[in-house]
């Protein structure tokens, strides 16, 4: 990253992802070329070797996530990046990472779908896929970014969460954010918290690889460090061996959810903008949150009390923050570049005091501040 004396850099969202990944300690990347995420691969292929890391271009996205999970098991922080069609292929090994509790980060720079769809146009169509794309009940953490700086920060946070909770973390970025260049200020002295997985401290013969700890997250031994244990995609007992006993299957699945659920307050991130006295609250994420902020300002100038709740964590769904604005506002507007994936969740948790309005756009263009303002005027 070429910086000026003020530690400013003009970066693209995808470049910021790379800088964040390197800052977080990512030293392995496996990927497959796909628009609009390819810059992440290209830049990491240059930047990983000099820091002793590894970049490999695999034969497809299935292999990319497989290699990523393998590298993480060997003790190296690992990431892959893709877009919709590749993300579909990754669902299989995403489930493996969830059940085997292998930390890894998957960046999905969303483009229009379904199928090959719109390779160079923005969309937010993968929000539900990120939550439920792989089969079976499973917990997952999904984050979003609306600025270049957030691409950097949320990549670091994705790694931290993945290491802290031993889970795959998906970072959803809108194509326009990934390809947008804006000024980012980052200081080398800046204290960024970097979290590394907790390793076992007991002797190998005492190590229980999938132990049900109070935190819900067992200590993780890396391959080759003396703790020989079994890693499997089969439902397993606390020692990692396949099981078909209901009294082991139930508690295992319950722990997978508990390790995320009991850390909601840490995982769930949102920003409130003028929501205290807002009669109308816009709930948005990604690039739409930027348009919404402008629309909120313009509406305030017209004397309408509007606020913005920007979601950064998309999953687990930020029920508490949304419920709060559902109680304090008369109406909510949820603009999204899909047919209503988060608005569905907002409606689900609505106790009925506020009305929930949607604004959906799926024509391959962004939702503009004017469009949100128009919707605000309609609703007010």
Partner 1 sequence: MPEVTKLIHKYLRHDKKFPHVWCPGCGIGIMLGALIRAIDRIGYDKDEVVLVSGIGCSGRLPVYVDFNTLHTTHGRALTFATGVKLAKPSLKVIVIMGDGDAVAIGGNHFIHAARRNIDVSAIILNNSIYGMTGGQYSPTTPYGMRSTTTVYSNIEQAFKISELAVTAGAVFVGRGTVYHAKLLDSLMEKAFLKQGFSVVEVIAHCHTQYGRQNRLGSAVEMMEWQRDHAIPVEKAAALKPEELKDKTVIGVLVDKDLPVYQNEYEKIRERSQVTAGR
| Residues contributing to the site for partner 1 (CB under 8 A) | 27-28, 30, 46, 49-50, 52, 54, 56, 58-60, 62-76, 78, 92-93, 96, 222-226, 228-234, 239, 241-242
In the complex, least distance from residue 102 CB atom to partner 1, rounded to whole angstroms? 10
Nearest to 166, CA basis, from 100, 226, 227: 100
Contact (Cβ atoms closer than 8 angstroms) between residue 97 and residue 69: yes
Q: Given the complex with partner 1, which of 243 and 358 has the nearer CB atom?
A: 243
Retrieve residue 286's tokens.
């990604």
Q: Which is nearer to partner 1, 97 or 308 (CB)?
A: 97
As measured in angstroms, the least distance from the Cβ of 155 to partner 1 is 19
Helix (H, G, I), strand (E, B) or coil at 23: helix
Q: Running DSSP on this structure, what letter comes out for residue 52?
A: T
Shortest separation between residue 67's beta carbon and partner 1, angstroms: 4
Q: How far is the CB of 47 from partner 1 (least distance, A)?
A: 9
Nearer to partner 1, 72 or 281 (CB): 72
* Pairwise CA distance, residues 255 & 301, whole Å: 49
Nearer to partner 1, 66 or 307 (CB): 66
**CB nearer to partner 1: pick between 54 and 350:** 54
**Nearest CB to partner 1, comparing residues 52 and 351:** 52
Please tell me the distance from the alpha carbon of residue 95 to that of residue 192, in angstroms, as a whole number: 30
Which is nearer to partner 1, 234 or 254 (by Cβ)? 234
For residue 74, report the phi and psi dihedrals to the nearest 5 degrees. -80, 0
Asked if residue 34 lies in contact with residue 83, where contact means CB atoms within 8 angstroms, the answer is: yes
Query: Rounded CA gap, 295 and 111, in Å?
Result: 24
CA 349/CA 356 separation, integer angstroms: 11
Alpha carbons 218 and 101: distance in angstroms, whole number: 9
Q: Select 16 or 63, whichever has its Cβ closest to partner 1.
A: 63
CB atoms within 10 A of CB 135: 10
Distant-in-sequence, close-in-space partners of 295: CB < 8 Å, separation ≥ 6:
282, 306, 369, 370, 372, 373, 376
Q: How far is the CB of 244 from partner 1 (least distance, A)?
A: 11
Closest approach of partner 1 to the CB of residue 59, in Å: 4
CB 118 within 8 A of CB 364: yes
Q: How far is the CB of 64 from partner 1 (least distance, A)?
A: 8
Provide the minimum distance between the beta carbon of 41 and partner 1 in the complex, in angstroms, as a whole number: 15
- Residues 270/317, Cβ–Cβ less than 8 Å: no
Is 286:151 a contact under the CB 8 Å cutoff? no
């Amino acid at each position: 990253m070429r910086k000026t004396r003020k530690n400013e850099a003009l970066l693209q969202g995808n470049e910021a992802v790379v800088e964040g990944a390197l800052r977080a300690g990512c030293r392995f990347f496996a990927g497959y070329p796909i628009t609009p995420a390819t810059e992440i691969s290209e830049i990491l292929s240059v930047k990983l070797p000099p820091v002793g890391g590894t970049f490999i271009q695999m034969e497809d996205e299935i292999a990319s996530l497989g290699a990523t999970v393998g590298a993480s098991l060997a003790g190296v922080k690992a990431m892959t990046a893709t877009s919709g069609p590749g993300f579909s292929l990754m669902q299989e090994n995403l489930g493996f990472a969830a059940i085997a509790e292998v930390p890894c980060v998957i960046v999905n720079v969303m483009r229009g779908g379904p199928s090959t769809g719109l390779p160079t146009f923005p969309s937010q169509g993968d929000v539900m896929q990120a939550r439920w794309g792989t089969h079976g009940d499973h917990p997952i953490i999904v984050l979003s970014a609306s600025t270049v700086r957030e691409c950097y920060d949320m990549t670091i946070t994705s790694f931290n969460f993945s290491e802290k909770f031993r889970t795959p973390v998906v970072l959803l970025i809108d194509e326009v954010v990934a390809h947008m260049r804006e000024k980012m200020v980052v200081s080398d002295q800046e204290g960024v918290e970097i979290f590394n997985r907790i390793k076992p401290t007991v002797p190998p013969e005492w190590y229980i690889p999938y132990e049900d700890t109070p935190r819900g997250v067992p200590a993780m031994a890396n391959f080759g460090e003396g703790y020989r244990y079994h890693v499997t995609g089969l439902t397993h007992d606390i020692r990692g061996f396949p099981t078909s006993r209901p009294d082991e299957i139930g508690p295992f699945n319950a722990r997978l959810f508990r390790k995320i659920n009991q850390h909601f307050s840490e995982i769930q991130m949102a920003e409130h903008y003028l929501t205290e006295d807002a009669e109308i609250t816009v709930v948005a994420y990604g690039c739409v949150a930027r348009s919404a902020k402008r629309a909120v300002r313009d509406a305030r100038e017209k004397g309408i009390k509007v606020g913005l709740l920007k979601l950064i964590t998309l999953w687990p769904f930020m029920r508490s923050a949304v419920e709060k604005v559902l109680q304090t506002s008369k109406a909510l507007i949820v603009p999204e570049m899909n047919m209503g994936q988060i608005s569905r969740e907002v409606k689900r948790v609505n106790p009925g005091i506020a009305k929930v309005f949607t604004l959906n756009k799926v024509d391959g263009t962004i939702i503009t501040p004017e469009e949100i303002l128009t919707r605000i005027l309609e609703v007010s």
